[in-house]
Structure 1
Amino acid sequence: MHVILDRDGPVPIYLQIAHQIRQSILDGEPATGARLPPERRLAKLLGVNRTTVVNAYRELAADGLVAGQVGRGTIVTYGAPEAEPTPTGSGEWPRYDTNGGRLSGYLVEAGRSRATPIPWAQLFTATTDVMDDPLLRDAMTVSARPDVIRLATGIPSPELYPIEDIRAIFDEALGNAGQTLLQHTPTEGYPPLRDELARWMDRAAAAAGAPSSLDPNHIVVVAGSQQGLYLLARTLIDPGDLVVVESPTYLGAAQVFRAAGARLLTIPVDQDGMQVDLLQEVLPRRRPKLIYTLPTFQNPSGAVLSMGRRLRLLDLAARYQIPIVEDDPYGALRYDGRTLPTLSAIDQAEGRANVIYLSTVSKMLFPGFRIGWVSAPKPVVERLTLMKQLVDLDTNALAQRAVWAFFSRGLLDQHLARVNRVYPQRRDRMLAALEEYCGDLVTANRPEGGIYLWCRLAEGIRVRDLLPEAAREGVVFAPGESFHVDAASGRGRYDMRLNFTLPSEEEIDEGVRRLSNAIHRLADRREANSRYPQPALTPIV
């Protein structure tokens, strides 16, 4: 069923909608008993007000073609063709033709305008609806402006990219094995890179006090951790499955799980990470398919899951046989404090296989390579590999070779040593600027690592009001509501995430100054409104 609107034509929009649905019903599609799209969904697809769709459905109901049923929505009730109602009493359906006989952009008699565009919005699957976050979309649109200081984007500093190392590695790789590297590689990944990733994880686990011996065959190289999340969701989740996520959490993961048809159960995060005691209360009553967590420098809060909670979470996963997906893009970016072992390392040290580990080089090096990896039990790796073959066959061989060189030659360690000196200086510079320019209008955490500050605005200053004001000043941030899967509850409305690794120290100062201008304007309005409150409305009787 397609609906094509002529928004400039003489026929009211609701009648255009009613006429085209009417004709579809008469043609037998949708059939008797079928449910029409909910009013809100059809209104969104067509870009019209819900009232317009309501009026169209009323027209159809008056013609005896549909009826509203409690709990089911609007149902097609039209029966055999010979019972066809004729609302005009003329035996014919209204046919519209405007502009001197020129077809006007929707169904007219037996023909359709050659200039009529395909109604793409009506062809998209419901899955694409979960990808739309208006607040974050607006923020990303503003980020594209050249005059804007970007505090929203989650990428490392381009100033620190090891360009000369990259150039040398590419020249060498293309000179020695160019023909091979420009062909396909195994779907699981370039074997030498998988070996290096296993060694990297073993070395990190040993340094954190949980030595392990990871089998490279338990690793799949993916095109960034986002692809890893997508493949895991498609491999493990069926529509209707329950998935535990943190609140707040990484938006991209929540979108992937919802696109797979999952229902999301949120567990709050505090300064010590996911509140595992609350999860423990839920598990006897509800059985999730998996638990998704960012235990180290959580996105967006920067929290680190305490050692006690890590052990308790692993015990719960083992007791209830629920796999954990550990997303660890920031673990190597630690500036202060003690490094804790990953959930994956602890799990292996205890002889279990309940954790699927996910990481990426995008935050350690740069995002352009699109190289990440999944470490998982062998059955998961085998099924994940089959799923990856449906998506892209294999990951870019030249990029894999370059990343292998960074790991195997110690170049990554050198790069991390450099950025782990620079980034904490930028973090502290941003904290100082927030205190200087914003005062008590903004409070922020001081993360021990990662790339974000998680900030709380003073009561009454909402991020959705601040976003357009900040855009006028030429600065953009990530709104807190976008990190809550239940944003309608009001969670995150006073929160914002600021990236301190992308901007230089000068840009940090200027960006926070611009942001403070917008915040102070909203604070002044709040104060004025409290000083001169709106008069109460008295009903007229």
Structure 2
Amino acid sequence: MNIHIERPSTIPIKEQIYLAIAQRIRTELFKPGQQLPSVRQFALQLAVSPLTVVAAYRLLEQAGLVRTVHGSGTFVSEQSRGLFDPPPQSGVAEANPWDWQLSLKDYLPRASMWSQSAIRLPPTILDMATASIHSSLLPSNLITDSIQKALTLYSDAVGKLSPFSGDPEFIAVIADYLRTYHVALEPHQMLITNGTQQGIDLFCRTFLGPGDTIAVETPCFSGAIDAFRLSQATIQPIPVDGQGIRLDVLEELVEKTTIKAIYTVPTYHNPTGTVMPLSRRRELLDFAVAHNILILEDEPHRELGFSDNVKKLPPPLKMLDASGRVIYLKGFSKFLFPGIRLGLLAADGTIYKRLLAAKSIVDLGSPLWLQKSLIPFFRSSQAEKYLTRLNQILRKRSQLVTETLISSLSPAIKWQKPARGLYLWLTLPPSVNADNLIPEAHHRGIHFLPSSIFYPGEPASNHLRICWTNLSDKDLPVSLTILCELLNSAVRNEGR
């Protein structure tokens, strides 16, 4: 186990060690019953005092994450069992032939996306966690037609590699498509990626490393936190309010430390659904310019503006950027097919060139055939017609969700009305832990994401995120009923 320690940090070393191990336990990289390194061994590895390790282990034990057996060592607590782990078997445990692997040093600090992935769910569970559009609403026939046309138009594409930056024809078509949504990007700014997650990874590989600090909206998209952690940069959580990331907290932070980058999802923030107003966007960009800070802007689904007039949404930060410090990420998976892992990254100047170099190292370019297969779809008028129809359907679903929660959910549970974006963030009373509700949720037949995975440090546990676009017309009302009954019961029990 490798733990990166920031020695000149304001966070005590014992707490840095505690947080690193706690995140591994919470994301199931450490399993129940697994023994942690001995105090002496760990102190030598980290070049710290044994008393520091003892203090870190004590914090873990106070949090209920480990148990110390006198004379034997410190072990991950059985209460830390993963959400998808089978219950422990009775009897004497057999020797595990893979135990030798625990001696291998790794550099993976956490894996929230993996640990909470709905792919690991039984098929009987109704998925209110995955942020995607239900298959019945996706343009299957339009994509099929697009692929068939591409087979004729680009029959030789299967045998060729794409340029590292992406296919020039596909990039030009996407640039035209984005102008419909007032996102004016030029082809020379654009780099095709395998989804926005790869864009985040390319940014981390290129610009983040030990000693750098990135400020992130908190709560924050867990896939981004995982990538930032892997870079060994220091993640500084910045709270959000009803208008997005808080500038007053950023101003306080910059007086004490050098911020290299800010990560933000200003349009339909993940997980809260907030839309940052134009005034806050301008203030954030002015702040970044004044302090020479990069901004990584993630905008996966501007098109899905069913509760707002899409054309009236504030422009992306990238459209306000006159100095080339905003790196813009855009995905297509949310409204086409989750399996189509294509997105784009937009940047300027040497920042673009360095990101392009990283892309060439990582995968030599995104698949050419996949890019070619979507050109007929985006070039036709069908894409806009499909999105118009999809937004009409999602608007009705939003109304259903809003009306159901207003009528059936305890007033002690707070949420943004009306439901907007793909996500809904619910806040429970402070003493209710959403993680503890997961087993009962699975027993009742639903799954949601607890708030703990959306925090880079010590998590707030009394929130949860649901996605209501990933369910069929039949399953959505059933899931909402189960959710309301589960949460109302938790609130009632909390009051006893």
TM-score by length of 1: 0.73
Taking every aligned residue pair, what percent have the same amino acid on both sides?
A: 26
Query: 1:509 aligns to what?
Result: 477
Query: Which of residues 356, 371, 374 in structure 2 aligns to 1:403?
Result: 374
Alpha-carbon offset, residue 198 of structure 1: 2.5
- Asked if structure 2 preserves the Cα contact closer than 8 Å seen for 1:303 and 1:447, the reply is no
Alpha-carbon offset, residue 121 of structure 1: 3.6
Q: Cα deviation per residue 1:292-346 (whole Å; 9 max; x = unaligned)?
A: 1000000000001111111111111111111111100021111234311111011
Query: Which of residues 247, 271, 274 in structure 2 aligns to 1:300?
Result: 271
Query: 1:356 aligns to what?
Result: 327
Task: Say whether 1:164 aligns with 2:141.
Answer: yes
Query: 1:123 aligns to what?
Result: 104
Amino acid at match of 2:104: L
Query: Equivalents in 1 of 2:32, 2:205: separation in Å?
Result: 33
- Asked if structure 2 preserves the Cα contact closer than 8 Å seen for 1:185 and 1:395, the reply is yes
Task: Say whether 1:522 aligns with 2:493.
Answer: no
Q: Cα deviation per residue 1:50-93 (whole Å; 9 max; x = unaligned)?
A: 888559979xx9xxxx996555889xxxxxxxxxxxxxxxxxxx
Query: Equivalents in 2 of 1:132, 1:165: separation in Å?
Result: 34
Query: 1:454 aligns to what?
Result: 425
Query: 1:77 aligns to what?
Result: none
Task: State the number of aligned residues.
Answer: 433
Q: After superposition, where does 1:5-404 map in structure 2 within 5 Å?
A: 54=38, 69=50, 117=98, 119-126=100-107, 128-132=108-112, 137=115, 140=118, 144-205=121-182, 212=184, 214-337=185-308, 338-347=312-321, 351-404=322-375
Query: Equivalents in 2 of 1:328, 1:67: separation in Å?
Result: 42
CA RMSD of aligned residues (A): 3.3
- Asked if structure 2 preserves the Cα contact closer than 8 Å seen for 1:273 and 1:295, the reply is yes
Q: Which moved more, 1:238-247 or 1:395-404?
A: 395-404
* Unaligned ranges ≥5, structure 1: 2-37, 75-104, 107-114, 207-211, 531-541
Query: Equivalents in 2 of 1:331, 1:468: separation in Å?
Result: 34
- Asked if structure 2 preserves the Cα contact closer than 8 Å seen for 1:330 and 1:449, the reply is no
Alpha-carbon offset, residue 509 of structure 1: 1.2
Q: Cα deviation per residue 1:424-461 (whole Å; 9 max; x = unaligned)?
A: 21122112222333232433213574211111123433
Alpha-carbon offset, residue 138 of structure 1: 5.2
Query: Equivalents in 2 of 1:326, 1:447: separation in Å?
Result: 25
Query: 2:385 aligns to what?
Result: 414
Q: Cα deviation per residue 1:23-57 (whole Å; 9 max; x = unaligned)?
A: xxxxxxxxxxxxxxx89969978857688855997
Q: 1:522 to 1:382 in 2, by over 3 A?
A: same
- Asked if structure 2 preserves the Cα contact closer than 8 Å seen for 1:226 and 1:252, the reply is yes
3-state secondary structure, aligned to 1:246? strand
Q: Cα deviation per residue 1:130-166 (whole Å; 9 max; x = unaligned)?
A: 2257xx825636x621221111111112111111111
TM-score by length of 2: 0.79
Alpha-carbon offset, residue 423 of structure 1: 0.9
Q: Cα deviation per residue 1:238-270 (whole Å; 9 max; x = unaligned)?
A: 212100100111111111011011111111111
Alpha-carbon offset, residue 175 of structure 1: 2.6
Amino acid at match of 2:103: Q
Amino acid at match of 2:474: E
- Asked if structure 2 preserves the Cα contact closer than 8 Å seen for 1:149 and 1:511, the reply is yes
Query: Equivalents in 2 of 1:123, 1:226: separation in Å?
Result: 27
Q: 1:447 to 1:405 in 2, by over 3 A?
A: farther
Query: Equivalents in 2 of 1:520, 1:447: separation in Å?
Result: 20
Q: 1:295 to 1:447 in 2, by over 3 A?
A: farther
Query: Equivalents in 2 of 1:270, 1:341: separation in Å?
Result: 19
- Asked if structure 1 preserves the Cα contact closer than 8 Å seen for 2:194 and 2:343, the reply is yes
Query: 1:500 aligns to what?
Result: 468
3-state secondary structure, aligned to 2:425? strand
- Asked if structure 2 preserves the Cα contact closer than 8 Å seen for 1:327 and 1:357, the reply is yes
Q: 1:354 to 1:122 in 2, by over 3 A?
A: same
Q: 1:118 to 1:443 in 2, by over 3 A?
A: closer
Query: 1:427 aligns to what?
Result: 398
Query: Equivalents in 2 of 1:219, 1:429: separation in Å?
Result: 38
Q: Cα deviation per residue 1:359-381 (whole Å; 9 max; x = unaligned)?
A: 10011222211000000013122
Alpha-carbon offset, residue 282 of structure 1: 2.2
- Asked if structure 1 preserves the Cα contact closer than 8 Å seen for 2:146 and 2:374, the reply is no
- Asked if structure 1 preserves the Cα contact closer than 8 Å seen for 2:118 and 2:127, the reply is no
Computing the radius of gyration over CA atoms, which structure comes out larger, 1 or 2? Answer: 1
- Asked if structure 2 preserves the Cα contact closer than 8 Å seen for 1:446 and 1:453, the reply is no
- Asked if structure 2 preserves the Cα contact closer than 8 Å seen for 1:431 and 1:444, the reply is no
- Asked if structure 1 preserves the Cα contact closer than 8 Å seen for 2:151 and 2:373, the reply is no
Q: 1:67 to 1:259 in 2, by over 3 A?
A: closer
Q: 1:72 to 1:275 in 2, by over 3 A?
A: closer
Q: 1:57 to 1:451 in 2, by over 3 A?
A: closer
- Asked if structure 1 preserves the Cα contact closer than 8 Å seen for 2:150 and 2:375, the reply is no
Query: Equivalents in 2 of 1:217, 1:121: separation in Å?
Result: 47
